[in-house]
Each structure stands twice: as structure tokens, then as C-alpha cells.
Chain A
Amino acid sequence: AQSVSQHNHHVILSEAASLELGCNYSYGGTVNLFWYVQYPGQHLQLLLKYFSGDPLVKGIKGFEAEFIKSKFSFNLRKPSVQWSDTAEYFCAVNTAYNTDKLIFGTGTRLQVFP
């Protein structure tokens, strides 16, 4: 069965530090990749997505992610985090085989201190 792993469960950073959150998936075929963010007290919202083309995708609020097919990875990055980036981040995958099922990772809680 397909699965998504987010190895960083809890990340604590100071403002202006750089961020990289790991995401690995297990599926050998064509995949679509997503990062969602859940700010405190708010609903999940899409941060960015990758379907095809340039493996480096840019999302909202200065986030970007790189799809590395050979590593089955889709890591999320931001050069300089802000206190307002404090949230929980979820990586998600669906496959060309079953596009209706979005498989989520367990999430990474990011805390940014001023």
C-alpha cells in the first residue's frame, strides 16, 4: 500500500532560520504531490502542489518544494521563516492509479520563536 512519511514530527526554529521539512512516499508510479498547512485554529489549506514539469514548485508565502523522483521525496523549504509560519504541515500524495484517494503523512508541527 502507498504511504507517506514525514520524519520530522516537531521542529522548533527561530525567526529568519531556514526550514526544510522532509517528505518521502512509497509508490513507484506516477504521483501527484501536495503540501497542506494548518495554522492554529484554522482549516487545512493548500500550500503548493506538483503534478508534472519543473520539479521545483513555488507556493504561497515564500514556500517551495522540490520533487526528486529518484529519492521518492518532496521536501518543503523556506529560506527564512517567520513567527506566522507556526503551524502543522502535511505532505500528501495521490497516484495516477487512484486519484480519488489522497494519502497524508503524519504531519510536522513547526514552532517559530521570535
Chain B
Amino acid sequence: DGGITQSPKYLFRKEGQNVTLSCEQNLNHDAMYWYRQDPGQGLRLIYYSQIVNDFQKGDIAEGYSVSREKKESFPLTVTSAQKNPTAFYLCASSIRGQNQPQHFGDGTRLSIL
């Protein structure tokens, strides 16, 4: 089955530690995205990548970093600089183009202890 795999589903980290969230897709999509979902705020774009070895900041990139070394993978690192990292993180991918819908993973819930 083609799809997007996010791991782990739940992640706990101590304050001050960096943590990396995994996102893998086997849909052969060029574009990949990371969103943060908070109650009452919808989805906010963190970073996106249209092609391997290239990525762009979204609306709330501060305190986050990404890499796109392979087409299938787009890991997100939540750094200690992110002031409020506890949230639900969603990864998505799509074929490039304005009328292409995004396909979403199941998400990772990150809790900072």
C-alpha cells in the first residue's frame, strides 16, 4: 500500500533536547510538507520541500530544521530553540502542481516533559 509513514506515533522528550520526527513516503511524490496542529489553530506550515536537497521555510519555521537528502524522506528536527514544542505534527506529500491534493500521514504527538 502506498502512503506516508510517520514515526513514532508518540514521542516524549525532556526540555532542552533536540528531537527528530521521521516521515517517509512511497508515493513517489516530489513535494513534502511538515505541519503543526494545535487545538483551535488548524494546521500551520513549518517547512516544505519541492525537490530533493531543497526546502523552504513555512509560516512557523523558527526552532525547527529539516533535511531532504532522499525523495522518500523528510525528517523534522524540533530543536531546543522551539519555545513551545508540545504539539501534534503532521507530514504530507503531493505531486507538484497547483491542483494536486496533499496526502497526510497519521501524525506524531510530541510531548516535552
Contacts and interface: CB of A to CB of B under 8 A. Distances in A.
Contact of A102 (B4, B96, B102): B102
Nearest to B38: A106
Interface residues of A, number: 26
Contact of A100 (B41, B43, B48, B107): B48
B23 interface: no
A63 interface: no
A95 B103 CA distance: 18
A100 B99 contact: no
Interface stretch (A14-22, A43-51, A69-77, A78-86): A43-51
Contacts of A44: 90, 92, 104
Counting chain B residues whose Cβ lies within 8 A of the other chain, the interface size class is 20 to 34
B25 interface: no
Contact of B104 (A43, A51, A100, A101): A43
A60 interface: no
A79 B110 CA distance: 38
A100 B48 CA distance: 8
B42 A34 contact: no
A21 to B, nearest CB: 13
Nearest to B44: A104
Interface of B: 4, 31, 33, 35, 40-45, 48, 50, 56, 58, 90, 92, 96-99, 101-102, 104-107
Interface of A: 4, 6, 9, 32, 34, 36, 42-46, 49, 51, 90, 92, 94, 96, 99-107
13 contacts: A6-B42, A34-B101, A43-B104, A43-B106, A43-B107, A44-B104, A99-B98, A101-B45, A102-B45, A104-B42, A104-B43, A106-B40, A107-B42
